[in-house]
Amino acid sequence: MKFIVSSSVLLKNLTALSGVLNSNNTLPILDDFLFELKEEVLLITASDLETTMTVTVATSKSEDPGSVTIPAKILIDTLKTFSDIPVTFNINKETLIVEISAGEGKFKLSGHRSDEFPQMPFLEEKTTVKLDSSLLVSAINRTLFATGNDELRPVMSGVFCELTPDYLTFVATDAHKLVRYRRMDIKTEESASFILPKKPLTSMKNILASEESVVTVEYNPTNASFTFGNVKMICRLIDGKYPNYEAVIPANNNNVLTIDRISLLTSMRRVSIFANQSTHQVRLKLSGKELLLSAEDIDFSNEAKERLTCNYEGDDMEIGFNSKFVNDMLNNLDTQEIKIEMSAPNRAGLIIPLDKDNEDEDILMLVMPVMLNQ
């Protein structure tokens, strides 16, 4: 089994695959990449049993098709040291010794048997939908940060995807904050919903950020697959019923603050430095055209206050938020102005972007208040 491939092309593809690998695998074979040589094409696969990703790489020369698994870390570390040069792989099918030749260098390492590597799942009775990569990246960027990490509530550790004849919705929540990203320009004939794990979404976001392509999404009750460019990824869906997110979004919010997003973000960052480092509580005092941000840490006698001009309609009120959550939300929006809708100091606040570029895009972010110390 022999093939020649560009070192930079191979490294780029292996780096994309490495997002699937775990640092502590129960099966040693999962520390490897599976290399399958078929005619002029090389298929390389990485898996952690939950997610399997395959990339297709063109070879400049290939002989004697076959398959072998190669340890991932040593291969990536070696390729990182090369400039863009042709690299020759020569694999002995009997001993599974992998010889790598690059320039004046020759390197040997032990491969492993490919039949021990887990096979990519096959999706039966699947439904297909095509999405633009920029839409998918935007949806992942807006929602991923709001997912939870509670092992006792695995459904909240992923992103809920809901397809209907009217729109496509992505939702993430950790019970303290919630993001609903909706697209009115994507519709499906039949309604369906599933929960996508965080890890494959992170890998996909990193790869798709650098390329414009159409992503073919296929799904059934247990798995979802994403195919784009030279990449195919299949992930096991999170099993369970997602909480009724619509029920927690408050309806009548008569107090509305309209403000420049960057101004609020920079002020919130400054003031939160002086907040209690366990609660990160920042107090918002609203009256007329004025917003007063304040924070204090009694233990260290730290205190900060900052005044901002804004447009506020509603009753004078004081409400407290965890500044980390608000900062995360403001960071993941890109409009100039936002509005914060509130009903009462003990009810959730809604952050909604204004002057958005895409009319088919509907973004709603919800943050729970924290009890104010009087």
pLDDT in tens, 237-286: 999 999 999 999 998 899 999 999 999 999 999 999 999 999 999 999 99
* 169 or 359, greater pLDDT: 169
pLDDT in tens, 9-55: 999 999 999 999 998 888 999 999 999 999 889 999 999 999 999 99
Nearest to 6 by CA among 54, 60, 47, 53: 60
Mean pLDDT (the chain, rounded):
93
Asked, colleague to colleague, whether 2-116 and 249-370 share their fold, the answer is: yes
Nearest to 219 by CA among 103, 95, 337, 127: 127
pLDDT value, residue 184: 93
pLDDT in tens, 228-241: 999 999 999 999 99
- Sorted by where each begins, the domain ranges of the chain are 2-116, 127-175+183-244, 249-370
Cα–Cα distance, 266 to 355 (Å, whole number): 20
Both structure tokens of 83 = 């400039």
Is there a contact between 16 and 51 (Cβ–Cβ < 8 Å)?
no
**Longest distance between any two alpha carbons in the chain, whole Å:** 80
374 has pLDDT over 70: no
* 299 or 195, greater pLDDT: 195
Is there a contact between 367 and 329 (Cβ–Cβ < 8 Å)?
yes
Matching CATH number, 249-370, of 3.40.50.300, 3.30.499.10, 3.40.630.10, 3.10.150.10: 3.10.150.10
pLDDT value, residue 210: 79
CATH class of residue range 2-116: alpha beta
Amino acid (one-letter) located at 293: L
Both structure tokens of 365 = 């972010």
Element (H, E) at 25: none
Both structure tokens of 332 = 């993941």
CATH of domain 127-175+183-244: 3.10.150.10
Long-range contacts of residues 237-241, Cβ cutoff 8 Å, at least 24 apart: 237/194, 237/195, 237/196, 237/197, 238/154, 238/155, 238/157, 238/158, 238/195, 238/196, 238/197, 239/154, 240/154, 240/155, 240/195, 241/155
Is there a contact between 209 and 137 (Cβ–Cβ < 8 Å)?
yes
363 has pLDDT over 60: yes
